Amino acid sequence: MIKTVITPTPDMSRAKWCHATRRIAQDHVFGFETHPEQINAGDLLLVEVTKISQHRRIQLRDGRFSRLFTGDMIVLAAGARFATDQFIGHVGVRSDRTLDLLAGGGVAGVEEARHGAVKPPTTLCLHGRLLGADGAVLNLKDEALAGGATDLPEAVFTVLGTGMNAGKTDAVAGLVNGLTRLGLRVGAVKATGTAAFGDTHLYEAAGAQTVLDFTDCGMASTYKQPIDRIETSITRLLAETARQGCEVAVVEIADGISQVETAELLARPALARMTDGWLLAATDELTAEVALARLASRGIAPLALSGLMTRSPVADGLSFGQLPILDRGELADPATASAFLQMLRQETAA
């Protein structure tokens, strides 16, 4: 198929740029490729909304929401998505030039499956891949954080979950707030997942001095990305928090411990080497028990349990030996943060 490259049309001037694209300057666009032979993860795409369904709004690069209208022109990124409560999809476009809005943060691809409680995805029509001044396709990796630095914060906490919506982000926010109230400079990192600003906004609200996620390393989504790239990204993100003066960092790993990339991360040594203390967010007692057993098989012993299970009226009666069960408010107590740090110091000294 012959590629056609044309200069921006007036439609580009009114295009809505999604959150996932925020590191790419709009004036870097000099044209677009109208009939790409393939689409790669992270490529910037110009699409038109043709049918509004599940996603009725998008997240803009300036941190606002924008309602969608049929005919809207959107700049977003090609990416896969793994969300058991919404869509599972891959990078690509159909032969009729349609593709799906897989995530409101600005990730498009082709739906493979969806949760029974959600509507079909909002449908898009591909106008082309955006090109830079040199004629190369613009990709999120073009403006990724530079590598090289390897210094990490003095302490790194990693929050895992039993699944999606287990309460991981609330746990991260609570711990970030507690560490901040203790007087520390705190970095917060969303290490895996799909581009969206909800979690990172909560980190900021909790008091994090530096907030970063995988999109800062050039990925619209970590689903189907090589595990080596994800590990390199986590190292780079943590090194950046240290470079910006953070003494401690809190990392969130998306989805559950059985999700394919998360399971791979936990089976390899890199994440464990970077992590000083673990927390587990669980939905209920049974999932907590299963997850703790799986983590134990990897040599991982969390400092505490948190998550949705803390909202249950029977939560106070649960017992996991000496393992505390802490809600977001308890994690936000500086005394809790201090106790965690003391535990890490004792482990280091042992």
So where are the chain's domains?
5-139, 155-349
- Residue 35's pLDDT band, with cuts at 50, 70 and 90, is confident
- For residue 315, pLDDT over 70 is answered with no
Q: What is the residue-averaged pLDDT of the chain?
A: 93
- For residue 148, pLDDT over 70 is answered with yes
> Which has more pLDDT, 320 or 197?
197
- For residue 2, pLDDT over 50 is answered with no
Distance in angstroms (rounded) separating the CA atoms of residues 106 and 95:
21
- The reported pLDDT for the residue numbered 6 is 47
Superfamily covering domain 155-349: P-loop containing nucleotide triphosphate hydrolases (3.40.50.300)
- The reported pLDDT for the residue numbered 10 is 40
Write out the two tokens for 40.
């790669």
Q: Which residue has the tokens 């689903």?
A: 223
- Residue 346's pLDDT band, with cuts at 50, 70 and 90, is confident
- Residue 349's pLDDT band, with cuts at 50, 70 and 90, is confident
Rg (CA), the chain: 21
- For residue 185, pLDDT over 70 is answered with yes
- For residue 211, pLDDT over 90 is answered with yes
pLDDT, one tens digit per residue, over 64-112 is 999 999 999 999 999 999 998 899 999 999 999 999 999 999 999 999 9
Nearest to 197, CA basis, from 334, 289, 61, 315: 61
- The reported pLDDT for the residue numbered 9 is 47
- The reported pLDDT for the residue numbered 147 is 84
Average the pLDDT over 320-341 and give the result.
93
Residues 6+ apart with CB under 8 A from 300: 266, 272, 278
- Residue 218's pLDDT band, with cuts at 50, 70 and 90, is very high
| Residues above pLDDT 90, as percent of the chain | 84
- For residue 155, pLDDT over 60 is answered with yes
Average the pLDDT over 228-236 and give the result.
97
> Pairing between strand 65-67 and 57-59?
antiparallel
Q: What is the 3-state secondary structure (H, E, C) of 114-132?
A: ECCCCCCCCEEEEEEEEEC
pTM: 0.93
